[in-house]
Chains A and B, each alone.
Chain A
């Protein structure tokens, strides 16, 4: 390369990094505001000081937010874990059948199931409330768990189906010859190699259910039963709660999914990609 071309190349490299780093800085602004304000005492978190760094950090806002939000944080855990586990198992079974046992009409049924993940949930919300009322689950965590299991079926089925499509049919044919039935083949051959798909689906469902708001706010009305997203919104909407405590609350609500993302990000991205269908 000539010197001139080299200089041009170096310059364009610098420009690329400059753009990427400034973009990263912009993406981090909300996290800065969130953490910075959470670490300020009430006196330091005066209205004019949003952007000023917390010079004397204190954990007091976190403790106060936790004392208010702890029950709701626990509700979210009791809600998220069973809903995630059950929708995963259903998704795995469905995905197995829709990829390896395509009975006549299976493909059409699969697309009909898939449609369920795109609908605006408003369009089923009124009947859902009436239905849960009639079976006595309205207003309880149980009703919310059931709801998340049901509406989790399309996405979990999709991710597992796409994963099992890559499993060679010959593997199953061998088991068939060995006299294993459909379900035994799942238990002994397919399930043991499903771990990667389970990781993706568990992370995906955990994140979505933890962060969900519409079902939570319509199906639970007693504050003691509300998941953290609803409690956070009430906390942030109230005039009497200081905003360093609001921010600390927001941070607590974000922490579990953020931690999962930072530690297991690549699986999360796989879930994202699966969420965009690509048959």
Chain B
């Protein structure tokens, strides 16, 4: 395709406003946050006096932040596992000429279109220890299964059991999305492969394990990255549903950052938390972006 130099310059001119805005609002602002994280800024008035790594040492030595990191780990692992298992299972079942497929897909996916704030409000009531699932369990005679849900500060290893309701709510919202990704994956696998296996007498589980799952590996990776980077920065859902929870049992870095910065006016430490969050996400996203676009 022929492109004159002049027209290419014009094309460049067309994207310059967006590039300029992104370089300021993304890259310059990140640099500005880094600078803030090395500064003594505490209080309403900005103070960029350089204090080196002091804020980093302070934040990492705080128990709340250590709990937050462990909660992020527990939450991310369980949430990813749940979403991927449910997603594959539902996609696998839906992908076999199901009557009313559209209705099922809509029901599994609609949570994705609802605000996390709405979700948080509703799930908070569902897991409310006096009125929610506990009341239902008592009504059907399973009262001994009732427990404190997000109000229970118990910890097993590094896992706060109060996170379970949050994990369920988040999976409710995003497992349908995972299902949609896997469904697209299943549909992309040539049917000759599975037909031949069926003729040879292979069972459905065998086909799932030996043909589908290996071929779904790239999609699984994409799903894990999208869900994983989301769970590393989760905020609205937890903030509305449980807040920090008892003894920070459901606290996450995003809530800590928000409260430190905008409630406590401790900008230096708030910036540290935000930079740590950025680094966690970058570790996942940068290799992904690099490998995706190197291919082109």
> Which residues 54-81 of B have a CB within 8 angstroms of A?
none
Contact present for B15 and A229 (CB under 8 Å): no
Contact present for B22 and A254 (CB under 8 Å): no
Contact present for B25 and A124 (CB under 8 Å): yes
Please measure, in the bound complex, the distance between the C-alpha atom of A173 and the C-alpha atom of B11, giving whole angstroms.
15
A79 to B: closest C-beta gap in Å: 14
Interface centre among B117, B139, B232 (most CB of A within 10 A): B117
Please measure, in the bound complex, the distance between the C-alpha atom of A24 and the C-alpha atom of B100, giving whole angstroms.
12
Contact present for B119 and A153 (CB under 8 Å): no
Asked whether A24 and B107 contact (CB < 8 A) given A101-B7, A128-B25, A213-B115, the answer is yes
- Which of A19, A47, A229, A254 is in CB contact (< 8 Å) with B130? A47
Please measure, in the bound complex, the distance between the C-alpha atom of A273 and the C-alpha atom of B121, giving whole angstroms.
27
Contact present for A107 and B293 (CB under 8 Å): yes
B154 in contact (CB, < 8 A): no
Please measure, in the bound complex, the distance between the C-alpha atom of A229 and the C-alpha atom of B254, giving whole angstroms.
17
> Which residues 1-16 of A have a CB within 8 angstroms of B?
12, 16
Contact present for B180 and A272 (CB under 8 Å): yes
- Which of A123, A124, A128, A183 is in CB contact (< 8 Å) with B10? A183
- Closest residue of chain B to A265, judged by CB? B106
> Which residues 194-221 of A have a CB within 8 angstroms of B?
207, 210-214, 218
Asked whether A150 and B295 contact (CB < 8 A) given A182-B7, A269-B180, A273-B180, the answer is no
Please measure, in the bound complex, the distance between the C-alpha atom of A110 and the C-alpha atom of B49, giving whole angstroms.
35
Digit string of B115-148 for contact with A (CB within 8 Å is 1, else 0)?
A: 1111111111110001110011001000000000
Asked whether A97 and B11 contact (CB < 8 A) given A16-B93, A151-B25, A253-B118, the answer is yes
Contact present for B184 and A254 (CB under 8 Å): no
A276 in contact (CB, < 8 A): yes
Contact present for B226 and A233 (CB under 8 Å): no
Please measure, in the bound complex, the distance between the C-alpha atom of A24 and the C-alpha atom of B111, giving whole angstroms.
12
> Which residues 202-255 of B have a CB within 8 angstroms of A?
204, 222-223, 226, 229, 232-233, 235-236, 239-240, 254
- Which of B105, B172, B277, B290 is in CB contact (< 8 Å) with A120? B277
Residues of A within 8 A of B104 (CB): 20, 24
Please measure, in the bound complex, the distance between the C-alpha atom of A62 and the C-alpha atom of B229, giving whole angstroms.
36
Contact present for A272 and B12 (CB under 8 Å): no
A274 to B: closest C-beta gap in Å: 11
Digit string of B161-187 for contact with A (CB within 8 Å is 1, else 0)?
A: 000000000001000110011001000
A176 in contact (CB, < 8 A): yes
Please measure, in the bound complex, the distance between the C-alpha atom of A107 and the C-alpha atom of B103, giving whole angstroms.
40
B150 in contact (CB, < 8 A): no
Residues of B within 8 A of A115 (CB): 26, 285-286, 289
Please measure, in the bound complex, the distance between the C-alpha atom of A157 and the C-alpha atom of B19, giving whole angstroms.
11
A190 in contact (CB, < 8 A): no
Contact present for B240 and A236 (CB under 8 Å): yes
Contact present for B115 and A276 (CB under 8 Å): no
- Closest residue of chain A to B257, judged by CB? A122
Please measure, in the bound complex, the distance between the C-alpha atom of A176 and the C-alpha atom of B104, giving whole angstroms.
47
B262 in contact (CB, < 8 A): yes
Interface centre among B136, B278, B295 (most CB of A within 10 A): B278
Please measure, in the bound complex, the distance between the C-alpha atom of A154 and the C-alpha atom of B262, giving whole angstroms.
27
Residues of A within 8 A of B3 (CB): 101
Please measure, in the bound complex, the distance between the C-alpha atom of A182 and the C-alpha atom of B111, giving whole angstroms.
42
Contact present for B125 and A157 (CB under 8 Å): no
Additional A-B contact list (19), CB under 8 Å, known A23-B108, A27-B176, A103-B9: A16-B93, A20-B93, A30-B111, A30-B122, A34-B118, A47-B130, A48-B135, A93-B18, A94-B18, A118-B289, A122-B254, A124-B25, A181-B10, A182-B14, A210-B115, A233-B240, A247-B125, A258-B114, A279-B293
Q: When A and B form their complex, which 8 residue pairs have the shortest distance between CB atoms, in order from nearest?
A: A101-B11, A211-B115, A261-B113, A120-B233, A124-B29, A127-B32, A123-B278, A122-B274
Binding site for A on B (CB under 8 A): 1-3, 7-12, 14-15, 17-19, 21-22, 25-30, 32-33, 36, 46, 86, 89-90, 93-94, 96, 98, 103-126, 130-132, 135-136, 139, 172, 176-177, 180-181, 184, 204, 222-223, 226, 229, 232-233, 235-236, 239-240, 254, 257-258, 261-262, 267, 270-271, 273-275, 277-278, 281, 285-286, 288-290, 292-293, 295-296
